[in-house]
């Protein structure tokens, strides 16, 4: 018997719509959902490897309880009742002695985030952490500082653009399938692409213009671009006049930042900077200066991201066809979004967040997400209070937060560490109890509210029953909540029942998703009137170049540029990023993907390598102040001499993930735990490393 199931991929968090073919109870084929515009059957390599995940015997198969020291790899199998009772008993004691605030939960924001948040609210903890700050916290804060919206409330109209400028946004390797397809369509229709990256990425090889910028100097480039655009009056005057607060202040500020000055700092010829400014302005407003996906490079990250967004505003491209747009929700057409468990009434939580977000110490990052990389210091210093328990769901703080050794030290201080994963991740390896989740092909998930130019909802549906003794997170949380007297907040038996509860009042039912996998609130695209009708959420209801958010918190809107030092001898700036074949830290043990790309290498410039006696393919020691490792060198002309590049996600430690264990080096082991204290992102590219032949 053969059936077709419409669902959502979860080989990464992009959640591309998929069509799954099931034959005699086995998944035989996965393709992009042909009924979704922009997807039309396509899938990335990781999505195609979903089948290998489903049938991988090295994934988690049942709950496990640790029997030896943390990280020692001694485990025993447990039943669900046993594992949940074990956690509940410890949790009850912790809550009684230290209160709700002593428990934190960290996860990759996902469709069941409202379940995780409801759990913390039910036990009285303010300490919810998503991955958001690690990925793009400063982009979030930058967007709020200008528009009053988060980056998640904004989108990019690739398809209709005439010119896109990418600051390290590696579109064709760090993939979201729909974005890739739309960009290819735009390029086919004659759009231009400018790619700025200290490394020749695949995206760079497809660009019309490529600049090998000196790493860390993009802000200098942008100050110069703004300088030229204002001086030559290349901006959209009517738009800027209508919406912008602080143009004069910006004009005065960028005065000294000439293209000639920027050439010295960035290595990009002044004349080319002027040419780009003129070229994009001819296409305005259908221009995108891409504000980035991962915005976690430097301690002044927020100011780089603001400068990119300001360039869009000068082009008048925000809410223009072929530019950026504000996402529209069902409210825009008088309808209701799916319900969330967090819509219920919970007892008030009095304690401040343990990361101090939302207090004068750390005022601006988004308290809906928190800033996870400051957790290790908070745990170790017990400032502002002790933390006793950590739940890690679908997120690995050991490999996804800078300075693994520091994170390990903090973990050792906790009374309870629980991981819910599908794989033997390093955090699973270092926890006390491991709870295995069913993989995406085996489970129905909470509703995806997909706001955009057209508000829609998508659903992940179970294609086949679980192969092992695994459960859905929403069910696991409910069963744990029941054991500590908080079950009432979770009014369902299984995830399908929860979805039905979510859909009440939306006008849609679960069955409405059967035919295509999604439902739409409206057929038409909604764009506000660009010159008359932007609904900005800043206090001034303007686009705030001079930002009340920043200035009320004591931060400048336009900080002077601080020069970036040169790297010489055996010293390099470490930079990191993605390849098309892997997702962060989760796919290195996937049988297909492992075969295609089993370990990472250290990219190093040929001239610098020769001076150090480093040969292509030979082992080198790469070391920072906080960690070191041995890795093969990839000697190439395709990287700026100041930096070395390490593909993120390798160097796994969990022995039961046998294919990936010990292969390559983890960037997180080398990166210092530094933070943009204004925007909230970690500064993953501000670590200096030394390289020497082994």
Smallest distance, Å, CB 105 to ligand MGD? 12
Question: What is the enclosing helix (H) or strand (E) of 427?
Answer: helix 426-429
Smallest distance, Å, CB 135 to Mo ion? 3
**# chain residues binding ligand SF4, by CB under 6 A:** 13
Q: DSSP assignment, residue 679? A: T
What Rg, from alpha-carbon coordinates, does the chain have? 25
Kindly state whether residue 176 participates in binding ligand SF4, applying the rule CB under 6 A: yes
Residues 82-111 within binding reach of ligand MGD (CB under 6 A): 108
Smallest distance, Å, CB 174 to Mo ion? 8
Alpha helices in 328-415, H assignment, sequence order: 375-381, 397-400, 404-411
- Rank residues 132 and 672 by Cβ distance to Mo ion and give the closer one: 132
The CB-nearest residue to ligand MGD is 168
Q: To the nearest 10°, the Cα dihedral for 586, 588, 593, 596?
A: 150
Q: How many CA atoms lie within 13 A of 39 on its CB side?
A: 25
Kindly state whether residue 543 participates in binding ligand MGD, applying the rule CB under 6 A: no
Q: Which of 16, 83, 395, 475 binds ligand SF4 (CB under 6 A)?
A: 16
Which of ligand MGD, Mo ion, ligand SF4, none does residue 218 bind (CB under 5 to 8 Å by kind)?
A: ligand MGD
- Rank residues 46 and 66 by Cβ distance to ligand SF4 and give the closer one: 46
What are the residues facing 437 on neighbouring strands?
471
**Of 684, 690, 536, nearest to 602 (Cα)?**
690
**# chain residues binding ligand MGD, by CB under 6 A:** 59
Kindly state whether residue 167 participates in binding ligand MGD, applying the rule CB under 6 A: yes
Residues 39-68 within binding reach of ligand SF4 (CB under 6 A): 43-44, 46-47
**Is 407 in a helix, a strand, or coil?**
helix
The CB-nearest residue to Mo ion is 135
Alpha helices in 520-628, H assignment, sequence order: 548-552, 591-596, 606-612
Question: What is the enclosing helix (H) or strand (E) of 482?
Answer: helix 473-483
Letters for 401-430 (x = contact with ligand SF4 by CB under 6 A, - = none) are ------------------------------
Smallest distance, Å, CB 39 to ligand SF4? 9
**Of 150, 214, 288, nearest to 679 (Cα)?**
150
**Interacting stretch for ligand MGD, rule CB under 6 A, among 67-75, 166-174, 506-514, 630-638?**
166-174
- Rank residues 7 and 425 by Cβ distance to ligand SF4 and give the closer one: 7
Which of ligand SF4, Mo ion, ligand MGD, none does residue 15 bind (CB under 5 to 8 Å by kind)?
A: ligand SF4
Kindly state whether residue 577 participates in binding ligand MGD, applying the rule CB under 6 A: yes
Residues 370-409 within binding reach of ligand MGD (CB under 6 A): 393-396, 400, 402
Smallest distance, Å, CB 478 to ligand MGD? 15
Which of ligand SF4, ligand MGD, Mo ion, none does residue 47 bind (CB under 5 to 8 Å by kind)?
A: ligand SF4
- Rank residues 174 and 226 by Cβ distance to Mo ion and give the closer one: 174
Residues 288-327 within binding reach of Mo ion (CB under 5 A): 294
Smallest distance, Å, CB 84 to ligand MGD? 15
> Any idea which residue has 């069941």 for tokens?
112
Question: How many angstroms from the chain centroid is the CA of residue 78?
Answer: 33
Smallest distance, Å, CB 136 to ligand SF4? 16
Start-to-end CA distance of the chain, whole Å, equals 57
CA distance 313 to 323: 10
DSSP string, 197-257: -SB--HHHHT-SEEE-PPTT-HHHHHHHHHHHHHHTT-S-HHHHHHHEE-HHHHHHHHTT-
Alpha helices in 587-694, H assignment, sequence order: 591-596, 606-612, 667-670
Kindly state whether residue 135 participates in binding Mo ion, applying the rule CB under 5 A: yes
Q: Which of 5, 6, 7, 14 binds ligand SF4 (CB under 6 A)?
A: 14
DSSP string, 539-608: TTSSEESS-HHHHHTT--SSPPP-PPPP--TTEEEEEEE--TT--TTTSTT-HHHHHH-----EEEEHHH
CA distance 232 to 224: 12
Smallest distance, Å, CB 173 to ligand MGD? 6
Smallest distance, Å, CB 110 to ligand MGD? 8
Q: Are 254 and 230 in contact (CB under 8 A)?
A: yes
Q: What are phi and psi of 437, to 5 degrees?
A: -95, 150
Q: Which residues contribute to the site for Mo ion (CB under 5 A)?
A: 135, 294
Q: Which residues contribute to the site for ligand SF4 (CB under 6 A)?
A: 9, 11-12, 14-16, 43-44, 46-47, 175-177
């Amino acid at each position: 018997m053969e059936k077709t199931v419409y669902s959502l991929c979860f080989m990464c968090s992009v959640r591309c719509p998929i069509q799954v073919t099931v034959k005699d109870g086995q998944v035989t084929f996965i393709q992009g959902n042909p009924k979704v515009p922009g997807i039309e059957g396509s899938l990335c390599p990781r999505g195609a490897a979903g089948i290998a995940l489903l049938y991988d015997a090295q994934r988690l198969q049942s709950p496990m309880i640790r029997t030896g020291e943390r990280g020692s790899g001694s485990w025993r199998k447990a039943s669900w009742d046993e594992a949940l009772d074990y956690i509940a008993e410890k949790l009850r004691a912790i809550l009684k002695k230290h209160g709700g605030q002593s428990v934190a939960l960290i996860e990759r924001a996902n469709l069941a985030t409202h379940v995780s948040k409801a759990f913390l609210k039910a036990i009285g903890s303010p300490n919810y952490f998503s991955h958001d700050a690690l990925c793009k916290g400063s982009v979030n804060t930058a967007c709020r500082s200008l528009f009053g919206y988060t980056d998640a409330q904004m989108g990019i109209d690739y398809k209709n653009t005439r010119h896109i400028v990418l600051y390290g946004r590696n579109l064709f390797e760090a993939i979201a399938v729909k974005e890739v397809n739309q960009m290819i369509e735009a390029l086919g229709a004659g759009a231009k692409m400018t790619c700025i990256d200290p490394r020749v990425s695949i995206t760079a090889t497809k660009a019309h213009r490529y600049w090998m910028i000196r790493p860390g100097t993009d802000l200098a480039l942008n100050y110069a671009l703004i300088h030229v655009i204002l001086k030559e009056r290349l901006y959209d005057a009517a738009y800027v006049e209508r919406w912008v607060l602080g143009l004069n202040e910006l004009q005065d500020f960028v005065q000294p930042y000439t293209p000639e000055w920027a050439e010295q700092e960035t290595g990009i010829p002044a004349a080319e900077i002027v040419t780009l400014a003129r070229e994009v302005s001819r296409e305005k407003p259908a221009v995108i200066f891409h504000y980035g996906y991962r915005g976690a490079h430097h301690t002044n990250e927020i100011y780089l991201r603001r400068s990119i967004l300001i360039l869009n505003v000068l082009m008048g491209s925000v809410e223009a066809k072929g530019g950026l747009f504000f996402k529209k929700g069902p409210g825009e057409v008088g309808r209701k979004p799916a319900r969330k468990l967090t819509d219920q009434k919970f007892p008030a939580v009095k304690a401040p967040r343990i990361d101090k977000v939302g207090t004068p110490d750390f005022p601006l990052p988004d308290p809906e997400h928190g800033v996870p990389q400051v957790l290790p210091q908070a745990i170790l210093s017990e400032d502002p209070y002790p933390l006793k328990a950590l739940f890690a769901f679908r997120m690995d703080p050991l490999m996804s937060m800078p300075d693994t050794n520091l994170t390990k030290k903090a973990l050792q201080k906790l009374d309870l560490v629980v991981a819910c994963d599908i794989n033997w991740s390093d955090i699973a390896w270092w926890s006390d109890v491991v709870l295995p989740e069913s993989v995406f092909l085996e489970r129905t998930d909470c509703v995806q509210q997909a706001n955009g130019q057209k508000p829609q909802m998508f659903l992940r549906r179970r294609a086949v029953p679980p192969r092992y003794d695994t459960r859905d997170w929403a069910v696991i949380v409910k069963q744990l909540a029941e054991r500590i007297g908080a079950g009432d907040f979770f009014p369902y038996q299984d995830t399908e029942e929860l979805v039905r509860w979510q859909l009440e009042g939306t006008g849609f039912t679960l069955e409405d998703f059967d035919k295509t996998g999604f439902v739409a609130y409206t057929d038409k695209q909604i764009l506000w009137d660009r010159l008359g009708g932007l609904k900005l959420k800043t206090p001034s209801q303007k686009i705030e170049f001079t930002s009340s958010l920043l200035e009320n918190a004591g931060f400048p809107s336009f900080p002077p540029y601080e020069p970036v030092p040169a790297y010489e001898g055996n010293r390099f700036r470490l930079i990191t990023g993605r390849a098309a074949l892997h997702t962060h830290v989760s796919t290195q043990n996937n049988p297909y993907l492992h075969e295609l790309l089993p370990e990472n290498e250290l990219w190093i410039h040929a001239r610098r390598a020769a001076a150090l006696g480093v040969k292509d393919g030979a082992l080198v020691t790469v070391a920072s102040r906080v960690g070191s490792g041995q890795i093969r060198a990839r000697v190439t002309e395709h990287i700026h001499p100041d930096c070395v590049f390490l593909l993120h996600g390798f160097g796994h430690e969990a022995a039961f993930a046998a294919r990936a264990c010990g292969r390559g080096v983890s960037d997180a082991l080398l990166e210092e735990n530094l933070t943009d204290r204004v925007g909230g992102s970690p500064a993953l590219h501000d670590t200096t490393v030394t390289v020497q032949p082994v």
